[in-house]
Structure 1
Amino acid sequence: PSGEIRCEPPNNNLEKYEGVMEWRGEKFSLNSDLMVLRGCVLRNTKWMIGLVVYAGKETKQMQNSGQAKFKRTSIEKLMNKIVLFIFALLFSLCLVCSISCGYWEAYTGYYFQVYLPWESYTDKAVSVAALNFLSYIIVLNTLVPISLYVTVEMIRLSQSLWINWDKSMYDQQKDTPAKARTTTLNEELGQIEYIFSDKTGTLTQERQIVTAIRE
């Protein structure tokens, strides 16, 4: 071959590229200024000579494209913590009840098998307590508010419809109404404390805003 390129392995650093190209006995240094990233468009030039260094998943653009993070609201995070706490409380209650059941079966219920006989596949109080642990979970599973998630989703859906139907958020010039693209971030709108902008004209559109304060 007439030339060879020795460069760094594929990475996600867009501002750095180091390599050396040997062409017909001469060496040329390569840096980020001589590299065109995937997706870039060249302008004001009639022709160019290029060489593909990285391809496919090894390109810097693909190295920087990670999996999209799932957004969770603060209320949803709090609700998940509460549900986990309820699960722990349910497990604790079932454990205490099963231990108490085993203690009672070992010292008291063992002598009442004439009236309350044990099952044929259980011969110890520990086995009875283990089986009752599952029974307690079935009996006390109503502590977990599964319907809470359905109720919250219905509330979010109705809030999204109200946002779409809000006439105050309708732009007459562009004929564009408000559109809630997701229902998971509605409650975050009421928790905004600060709005940062590069200039006041971005928000006011250089128009005079009259605020009427009614007592």
Structure 2
Amino acid sequence: MMEEVWQKVVVGDIIKMENNQFVAADLLLLSTSEPNSLCYIETAELDGETNLKVRQALPETAEIDNDIVKFSEFDGEIICEAPNNRLPKFEGKLNWQGQTYSLDNDKILLRGCVLRNTQWCYGLVVFSGHESKLMMNCGKTVFKRTNIDRLMNDLIIGIFIFLLSMCLICTIACGIWESQIAGDKFQIYLPWESYIPGTILGTKDGSVTEGATTLSLLTFFSYIIVLNTVVPISLYVSVEIIRMGNSLLINWDSKMYYEAKDDPAKARTTALNEELGQIEYIFSDKTGTLTQNIMEFRKASINGKSYGDYLDASGTALEITESDDSVFIGDSDLEPRTSTPVSKLYILVT
């Protein structure tokens, strides 16, 4: 038994996991510390469910228990389906000691699960790395951007294209000026650099046209430096400062303060504040996600006494609370029944 990082786990390895540890690969459960070779896992990383699920090892492999020597001699062969992204399904068989055992999803621990309420368990790696079901279900990561971010990106790209166009026009104008108008004559007062062809310094041979072309190309980068202020880089900083101020206003908003639990609003990110309230789609998986499942007590008969809604002479239901002294049913000569048991029963059922 040796300790190893999860990246080096390969198919065929037998690994030991302890309580509250993540499963590093798709495993065939061999034995656990719990009775009947049961183990409990949390699959919140796979399907979002926080309730614990039960997995059980084969009774034949469960007899190995925690014996390292027997695990080192384990020579079982697994024949199963090819790697796929179907989380709730697994088909295969285990050939071991001349016997064949059927395998299903109840005997498999998938990568991404967390071992819970189980001291330890052993598993045989079936799929690892990119062949595990978790990785097969992974798609491309989508970076969330707000509408303002998209608009600013488009504006910056447009401004940068405008900057390049301005620099290109100025470069062409510089080449025309230096070669055809008066640039060449100005060398008497401001000679070209020594590395430019056609300079009056005589350091490099060439025509005036070649020198003007070289000079204009070098001037292109100078124009980019001179006109770089056209691109509003500070715009991003200004927007982030505004977002931070908006998040502070959300944190300080007294109307979003829940006094019962002393819980104020908390802006955990400044990247999506401007998208608040702009709901485009609502997805609901089942009843109860957007509604409340509430049970309300109606009627009950306890020890021969009937409890429920009392009606007045007009047939309207009377609301009974603990503050009421007594309640009479029907005629006034009937025994009064206090409302305390009814209120307690209502609280219990609700």
Structures share fold, TM-score greater than 0.5: yes
CA distance in 2, matches of 1:2, 1:190: 59
Name 1:179's counterpart in structure 2: 266
Name 2:241's counterpart in structure 1: 154
What is the CA-CA distance between 1:95 and the residue it aligns to? Answer: 1.1
1:118 aligns with 2:192: yes
Structure with bigger strand share is 2
Q: TM-score, normalised by structure 1?
A: 0.77
CA distance in 2, matches of 1:152, 1:205: 43
Runs of at least 5 residues in structure 2 that lack an aligned partner in the other structure:
1-73, 198-210, 295-350
| 8 Å CA contact 1:10, 1:54 repeated in 2 | no
Residue of structure 1 aligned with 2:125, choices 53, 63, 66:
53
Name 2:232's counterpart in structure 1: 145
Q: CA RMSD in A?
A: 3.4
| Equivalent position amino acid for 1:165 in 2 | W
CA distance in 2, matches of 1:204, 1:75: 36
| Equivalent position amino acid for 1:21 in 2 | L
Structure with bigger helix share is 1
CA distance in 1, matches of 2:141, 2:239: 24
Residue of structure 1 aligned with 2:177, choices 104, 107, 121:
104
Which structure has the bigger radius of gyration? 2
What is the CA-CA distance between 1:157 and the residue it aligns to? Answer: 0.4
SS in 2 for 1:122: coil
CA shift digits 1:147-188 (9 cap, x unpaired): 111110110000000000011111112211000000010111
CA distance in 2, matches of 1:201, 1:50: 37
CA distance in 2, matches of 1:201, 1:3: 45
Worse-matched range after superposition: 131-140 or 7-16: 7-16
What is the CA-CA distance between 1:21 and the residue it aligns to? Answer: 1.5
CA distance in 1, matches of 2:275, 2:184: 58
User: What aligned pairs does 1:18-97 form with structure 2 within 5 A after superposition?
Assistant: 18-38=91-111, 39=113, 51-54=123-126, 57=129, 59-61=132-134, 64=137, 69-97=142-170
Worse-matched range after superposition: 188-197 or 178-187: 188-197
| 8 Å CA contact 1:56, 1:62 repeated in 2 | no
CA distance in 2, matches of 1:142, 1:200: 55
What is the CA-CA distance between 1:37 and the residue it aligns to? Answer: 2.5
CA distance in 1, matches of 2:83, 2:77: 17
CA distance in 1, matches of 2:98, 2:283: 56
| 8 Å CA contact 1:98, 1:130 repeated in 2 | yes
CA shift digits 1:173-208 (9 cap, x unpaired): 2211000000010111153356566679947998xx
Name 1:213's counterpart in structure 2: none
SS in 2 for 1:159: helix
CA distance in 2, matches of 1:100, 1:106: 10
Residue of structure 1 aligned with 2:252, choices 152, 157, 165:
165
Q: TM-score, normalised by structure 2?
A: 0.50
Q: For residues 190 and 79 of structure 1, do their structure 2 counterparts lie closer, same or farther at Cα, with a shift above 3 Å needed? A: farther
**Percentage identity across aligned positions?**
53
How many equivalent pairs are there? 202
SS in 2 for 1:179: coil
SS in 2 for 1:28: strand
Q: For residues 120 and 140 of structure 1, do their structure 2 counterparts lie closer, same or farther at Cα, with a shift above 3 Å needed? A: same
Name 1:211's counterpart in structure 2: none
CA distance in 1, matches of 2:75, 2:174: 85
| Equivalent position amino acid for 2:195 in 1 | Y
What is the CA-CA distance between 1:4 and the residue it aligns to? Answer: 1.1
Runs of at least 5 residues in structure 1 that lack an aligned partner in the other structure:
207-215
